[in-house]
Amino acid sequence: VTTWNAKHPYLYTLALNLVDKNGNTVEARSSKIGFRDVRFSEKNALLINGVPVKLIGVNRHDHSPTGGKTVTRAEMEKDIFLLKQNNFNSIRTSHYPNDPHIYDLCDKYGLYVIDEANIESHGVRGELANDPTWTASTMDRVIRLVERDKNHASIISWSFGNESGCGPTFAGMSGYVKDFDPTRFIHYEGAQGDPNHPEYAPIGSKKHKEFNAKYHSNPTDPPYVDVLSRMYPHLEQLEGIATSPFINRPILMCEYAHSMGNSLGNLKEYWDLIYAHDNLIGGYIWDMIDQGIERTAKNGKKYFAYGGDFGDTPNDQNFCINGVFNSDRGLRPQTYECKYVFQPVVIKAVDLKKGIIEIENRYNFTNLSNYMFTWEVVENGKTMQQGEFKGPDIEPGKKGNAKSGYKQIKPKAGNDYWVQVKMFSTKNEDWAEAGYQIAEEQLIIQDSKPVLDAVKTTAPEIAENEAAITLKGNKFSATFDKQTGALSSLNYNGLKVIEKPLVPNLWRPPTDNDSRGWKTPEKLEVWAKSKETITLESISAQKQGDVVVITIKRIIPNAGNIEENYTVYGNGIIDVDFNLQVEESAPELIRVGMQAGINKAFVNARFYGNGPHENYIDRNQSAFKGLYAMKTNALTESYVKPQECGNRTGVEWLELKTENGKALKVEAKDKIAFAVWPFTEENLSTSNFTWELEEAEYYTLNIDLIQAGVGGIDTWSIKARPIQNYRLLEKNYSYGFRLGLANASTP
């Protein structure tokens, strides 16, 4: 017998013939069936056909941007293809049995399924589970689910519904299903026992800290479920459960990594934990697709509508906008992060100068010899050598070395070098043609710190009056406003660069995680209002040899002090140094940077840093260092409810160019982050829909040292805040960058 698994979904055709007493066929039917075995190991790993498997899952709702809950078969198939293409292997049918066609597709193309009953009593929690008058109707839903779907090979687990508390009714369901079908495991997250158990204490509380010291000394989850299921656990909680000596069941996150708006930070940290522990069998991101409905606004712009747009009151506003994919099934920055974190190989350096790498095969049933790999040796973003090699003979779950075949290199001082390795399919699949890229890794050979070129010019002329300090040099002029201390005007050879002054920027338009869970507008109010409350303490201009230094000191009441130094050269180059000293009593920061409005003529962009897609410090595993070029407008990411967007990390330089070739160049003294928006921060912060975003008369340019992460645990509690590693908790921040006119090459 050839067994079925999600990677190789082998199906047999079962033919049934009904014949009469004379042997004539009266009716004939056929069905696709598969054979597979589901069980748990002694270490509580999930075994499919005896092989350990991690469930790389997503919660799926029926959704069409034009049909709502009326989903076509083509859209269903597109869902399956998207998941396969982005390295998912499982879905949970949250929170109802799906159209039977979905299970046929999962059988055919290969996805593991947790099949969930349509039971939900969130508002009253476990009241119905403990009310005998509801037992029959509740049991009926589970019985019908199991009876209808029992022959699908893709279904590996029955789930008894969602967020309906705990009680005898669910114990009865389990008794029935275990007797009727012992081949699949029972899941129900609501079966958690005592809600006063310390596990449920708020993160950071004394009760929770005590619990961290000894997780589950008295586990209370009822025995009628086969796995311990948790929603949105903090990383410490997940690790604590995994390492507890008192727990002897597999652990599954039926919901985690709430992908609402600009989110899905720290996904890597979750999966580092999952791969480190046999009994962490995987998780299901909430959720797959933004559930927006396509509409056309009164100004003619198309957008995705959400709660409250249909005369519906009450509503949850945009709380159905939390997908890994857009409402129209388009890709998002989160999609790329998922594809990378979930990719089936881990590629590490052994001896990069000789081209030797180590590859770990995370496939469960496939040898890497079935794939093709390519490599590029890159210097400062430009390819030096390239080639390919056949996938090495590495069995599932094993590691081995591979030699790429490039010539040994001798890195030059001051240059960056890396190897870019990509993995491709070699045969056509139903969901992707041969040559589809499955995985990618960047291995750094040498990462040099940026060095700004020395500048030799004569000092610019200084003109000062009560209102401003103006500097003039060779075909340039710069003006500093003495009331605000801002660089208010910058002109190069007749090209006006600055349309809105360059000022400190210590805030970001709140993401859903920021506003709903972290509540940054209230908790970080001093930074939210800093542009309004900041006062100028002093501004001075001093000629120092061949340069002029403008020193600006500012005070943010009850928050901190800022000192900016602008070193201005006679050819128009300006070096900016920024230092922020935060008061001990001030709350943590969310952004450290500067912002200006720049000429809308800069329609083309190039940058050298992490990209090409939007990325943040806790969601940039999939964004590789490189040299990228695109239209300036393409730097902005469109979220259904507008919010902070478009950031790029690890940037060494940014070049913004006009159509006639003039370019503004921003060069980092170390590394910076940047974002460019075609609208104002105020517009971005106050708009509820994309159709409300209006093209400004300038681009908003953010030049940052750093931003806090976007968070990725939930969106409604303090856990929405980024994890500790990605918060801005220091009290002193300094960085620098250079502004100048560049002779830009063609992107």
Give the integer Cα–Cα distance in Å for 211 and 200: 9
SS3 of 194-206: CCCCHHHCCCCCH
SS3 state of residue 129: helix
Token duo for residue 251: 């652990």
- The tokens 């940047």 sit on which residue? 674
Residue tagged active-site, from 163, 236, 269, 395: 163
Q: Return the residue matching tokens 């093709």.
A: 372
Q: Encoding tokens for residue 276? A: 């480190």
According to DSSP, the residues that pair with 185 across neighbouring strands are 157
CA separation for the pair 350, 356 (Å, rounded): 5
Dmax (CA) of the chain: 112
Q: Three-state SS string across 199-267, please?
A: HHCCCCCHHHHHHHHCCCCCCCCCCCCCCEEEECCCHHHHHHHHHCCCCCCCEEEEEECCCCCCCCCCH
Q: Active-site residue 269, yes or no?
A: no
By C-alpha distance, which of 406, 403, 401 is closest to 383?
Answer: 406
Contacts of 299 (CB under 8 A, 6+ apart): 691
* Paired tokens of 266: 């720290």
- Alpha-carbon distance of 721 to 589, in angstroms, equals 12
Q: Cα(143)–Cα(661) distance, rounded to whole angstroms?
A: 69
For residues 4 and 36, the answer to whether their CB atoms sit within 8 Å is: yes
DSSP state of 514: I
CB of 371 closer than 8 Å to CB of 357: no
> Which of the residues 255, 440, 499, 681 is marked catalytic?
255
CA 678/CA 667 separation, integer angstroms: 21
- Strands (E) across 160-261 are located at 185-187, 228-231, 251-256
> Which residues share a beta bridge with 75?
none
Is 441 annotated as catalytic?
no
How far apart are the C-alpha atoms of 397 and 360, rounded to whole Å? 7
**458 with 546: CB under 8 angstroms?**
yes
DSSP 8-state class, residue 370: G
Q: Distance between CA atoms of 367 and 364, rounded to whole angstroms?
A: 9
* Helical axes 73-85 vs 100-109, angle rounded to 10°: 40
Which residues share a beta bridge with 322?
none
Say what angle helices 100-109 and 135-149 make with each other, to 10 degrees. Answer: 40
d(CA 297, CA 705): 37
Strands ordered across the beta sheet of 356-361: 345-351, 356-361, 399-403
Residue 397's H or E segment, with its range, is none
Helices 135-149 & 168-180 angle (0-180, nearest 10): 30
**Structural tokens at position 675:** 């974002």
CA 609 to chain centre: 18
Active site residues: 163, 255
